[in-house]
Amino acid sequence: MINFVSYIVKLFSSRGKKFYSFIYTKTGVAPRDLKLYYQALTHKSSVRKPHRNLSAYNERLEFLGDALLSAIVADVLYQKYLGYDEGFLTQMRSRIVSRSRLNEVALKLGLQEYVNAKTQKDLSETHILGDSLEALIGAIYLDLGFKQCHNFVTGKIIQSFIDLEEISQNDSNYKSKLIEWGHKNHYSIDFVTTKKEADDENSSLFVATALVESLEIGTGEGSTKKEAQQNAALNALEYMDSNPGLFDSTNNRSELN
């Protein structure tokens, strides 16, 4: 593989050689179509008239990579945590693919060296790096197929930067986190919980909605009211994490992570 990589690198320009080596070093894959990887690391803010050229920036690749990442992480968790219920697996996956965690992984990978974006903030203070990581996953899939994409996610992301045991043992009370955030930033937090008809007559199903200042921002289901409210709070925190401008009066987005 090294000889093949050396041969391919010789075919590129000086800039292309550096970028190819960067992608190969960081991902462990040998790119065939470098244009996909440039696109993956190009943010919409750096493109003139982006509405005219969707292939010039990474939003479509990010959409694809997000779905692939979620599926691969779900597969890893399903195989590793036998006997655990859907709620546990869902919470684990949510913690792994959260924007804040993806930003951290992207920083550790060093994607900021080649991410092309125009922002007044430091890239580490935005979601651009995490979005670019998802786009990179999409690029690898389109360029080299699912197996290489799966290898990158499991080997270079999960095994290298994600401590599954620590995450699984971390007792996250999402309802308390949301309420504490509300108190700190002077927002009212409420939960509306209703009982839902379940398919099994002997089981119960509850649906909860998390409200911030009467704005519905998260819903969740569970076999108990507590579980439903926890899932609703988790959904709300994820939504707020993905929409940092939702409550502009606070600058403490990190409190949600």
Tell whether the model's pLDDT for residue 221 goes beyond 90: no
- Whether 180 is catalytic is no
User: What average pLDDT score do residues 181-193 get?
Assistant: 92
Q: Could you read off the pLDDT of 164-186 as tens digits, one per residue?
A: 988 887 656 788 889 988 988 89
**pLDDT for residue 194:** 92
* Per-position DSSP letters for 99-166, written without gaps between them: HHHHHHHHHHHTGGGT-B---SS-GGGSSHHHHHHHHHHHHHHHHH-HHHHHHIIIIIIIHHH--HHH
Q: How does pLDDT run across 132-151, given as a tens digit for each residue?
A: 999 999 999 999 999 999 99
Residue 12 has what pLDDT? 59
Banded model confidence at residue 192, pLDDT cuts 50, 70, 90: very high
Helices (H) and strands (E) in the chain, counts: 12, 3
The predicted pLDDT at position 202 comes to 45
Catalytic residue among 62, 66, 131, 241: 66
Determine phi and psi for 193, rounding to 5 degrees: -125, 130
Q: pTM higher than 0.75, yes or no?
A: no
Q: Looking up tokens 């010039």, which residue turns up?
A: 56
* pLDDT tens digits, 35-57: 999 999 999 888 877 667 778 88
| Active-site entry in 62, 134, 143, 241 | 134
Cα distance between residue 53 and residue 5, in whole Å: 31
Cα 173 to chain centroid distance, Å, stands at 20
Lowest mean pLDDT among 158-167, 202-211, 230-239, 247-256: 247-256
66 assigned to active site = yes
Pairwise pLDDT comparison (252 vs 225), residue with the higher score: 225
Residue 241's pLDDT band (boundaries 50, 70, 90)?
confident
Taking alpha carbons only, the member of 153, 171, 157 closest to residue 88 is 171
pLDDT tens readout for residues 58-106: 999 999 999 999 999 999 999 999 988 887 888 889 889 988 889 999 9
Does the pLDDT value for residue 123 go beyond 70? Answer: yes
Cβ neighbours of residue 53 under 8 Å, at least 6 residues apart?
A: 47
Q: Give yes or no for a contact between 230 and 220, defined as CB atoms under 8 angstroms apart.
A: yes
- Provide the pLDDT for residue 165: 87
Q: Are strands 215-222 and 205-212 parallel, antiparallel or unpaired?
A: antiparallel
Q: What is the pLDDT of residue 228?
A: 86
